[in-house]
Amino acid sequence: MNRILDLTALELGRQIRAGAVSVPEAVQAALERIAQVEPDLNAFVTVDGDRAMEQAGRVQRRIESGELTGPLAGVPVAVKDNLCTKGLKTTCSSRILENFVPAYTAQAVRKLEEAGAVILGKTNMDEFAMGSTTETSYFGQTRNPWNRDHVPGGSSGGSCAAVAAGECFLALGSDTGGSIRQPSSFCGVTGIKPTYGTVSRWGLIAYGSSLDQVGPVAGNISDCAAALEAISGHDPRDSTSMDRKDCDFTAALQDDIRGLRVGLPRDYFGEGLDPEVQKAVLEAAQTLREKGASVEEFDLGLVEYAIPAYYVIASAEASSNLSRFDGVKYGYRTPDYEDLHGMYKRTRSEGFGPEVKRRIMLGSFVLSSGYYDAYYLKALRTKALIKAEFDKAFKRFDVILGPTAPGTAPLLGSSLSDPLKMYLGDIYTISANLAGLPAVSLPCGLDSKGLPIGVQLTGDCFREKEIIRAAYAYERTRTWEKPDLTAAGTDAAGKGERI
């Protein structure tokens, strides 16, 4: 392995500032890794090496002049393909946006570039972020670096697989119902969904506007905290953006959790949870207890209503958001049509995949006359009740700990045939989006097949520092494990490389 690729994002940043490594050297190392593993993984939709090397040269000169001094200056990163990038294709992994090149850059990406990060390319995802496996992409499925026969999770599966495989040092994803945390769990990396409104959604192609939030994926919590610090902040172009004064998230990287109150929801440890996942997550809770936290079980109500409420709300918002993709102004337009109505119909039929069509139809149904009150309004009331349950829990606890997903990464092709089963895989992550809460997933072990297990820490609104502190304290007790990229298929399982 190239020695540069052994470094974390913050370690690389320090070496670049010290002159031990140049930015072009770091970017070249990442591009070589991408060329090596992409034929197997398909974690990227677009890689622009020439653009990245040009940017690397500019960043190097700004570092040498003293203009760029931040911790991420010169670090090669990747961006999920639903975040707009000026002059670089943004497809949402959909045929309907196959050749769309935005005229502007999303605020979160812009802030990362202002911090000196170098954009390598755009990562694969479930089409329009609708899926949990990164198998619904028009550009082909992404494979899990730990075992190519398994999915990486979704919808930010490309970002998480790229970080796990060492193709980039950190990546941006989006999280609507667990789309950063669940693939982080499946790929053995760390991912944060911040409090709703912490990171601007301007330039993020919307799925469910009241649920979407941009966040970072990296190999450890320190890199995630630094990236989140870089991309957070008020943006007047996003009406939901919060003007926060406490975005110094790296200040929470302290190995001291004495007195931290950790809650374990009994509802999360019942039927449907893989015994190996339960064992690893409970061992993580015990580790926090041994480091000085108090850990207590409690009942968190309304968990069973989270998935139906989420899919009603998200699909309703998606049906509205995706109505703009009609072949008129940008994106794909069918070549075979006779009139305007026919063009709309054929363009959308040919441009959207099955999962996107399913959610558009569901959303249109629940918003239709006669069903609006019965489904959509009821889901909104359920969302408010779920938020009230969490408010009650956070009067007793600082952090809620549980599994990120009910199991480890399933086999490729085993989920799409049963959409309901795929939806149920988000049972532990969805509530944080409905309630607008911050949550982080980080690795807590491997199962008997050698696949990563993730533990999730959820905090109260605007209390990211609590979950970062708990994650950092737990992480200090473990060694980050990486997949063996020389193995393939079933043989890859169980061959993690410790660094």
What lies within 8 Å, CB to CB, of 278 at 6+ separation is 269, 403
Q: Round to whole Å and give the CA distance between 496 and 485.
A: 9
> Contact, 277 vs 410, CB < 8 A?
no
> Are 74 and 26 within 8 A, CB to CB?
yes
Q: What is the pTM of this model?
A: 0.95
The amino acid that residue 161 corresponds to is A
Note whether residue 472 is domain-resident: yes
| Cβ neighbours around 378 below 10 Å, total | 16
Indicate which residue of 22, 80, 111, 415 is catalytic: 80
Contact 439, 459 (CB under 8 A): yes
Ranges 160-164, 307-311, 367-371: which has the least confidence = 367-371
Q: Is residue 257 part of a domain?
A: yes
Q: What is the pLDDT of residues 400-455, one digit of tens each?
A: 999 999 999 999 999 877 776 777 778 999 999 999 999 999 999 999 999 999 99
Q: What is the pLDDT of residue 496?
A: 37
Residue 484: its pLDDT value, please? 86
Residues 200, 242: Cα–Cα separation, whole Å = 8
Catalytic residue among 93, 94, 155, 315: 155
CA distance 207 to 323: 11
Is 356 part of a structural domain of the chain? no
* Rounded (5°) CA angle 272-164-76: 140
The model's confidence at residue 491, banded by pLDDT at 50, 70 and 90, is very low
Instruction: Judge whether 80 counts as a catalytic residue.
Output: yes
Answer whether residue 484 is part of any domain.
no
Give the count of domains, the chain. 1
Question: Which tens digits make up the pLDDT trace of 37-96?
Answer: 999 999 999 999 999 999 999 999 999 999 999 999 999 999 999 999 999 999 999 999
pLDDT of residue 498: 27
List the catalytic residue out of 179, 232, 319, 415.
179
Neighbours of 312 (CB within 10 A): 23
Active site residue 174: no
Q: Which two tokens stand for residue 15?
A: 């070496």
**pLDDT range class, residue 270, cuts 50, 70, 90:** confident
**Would 350 be classed as within a structural domain?**
no
Domain contains 335: no
What CATH number is attached to the domain comprising 167? 3.90.1300.10
Is the pLDDT score of 471 beyond 80? Answer: yes
* 179 is an active site residue: yes
| In-domain check, residue 349 | no
Q: 375 lies in a domain?
A: no
Residue ranges making up the domain that contains 66:
7-303+384-476
Q: What percent of the chain has pLDDT over 90?
A: 91
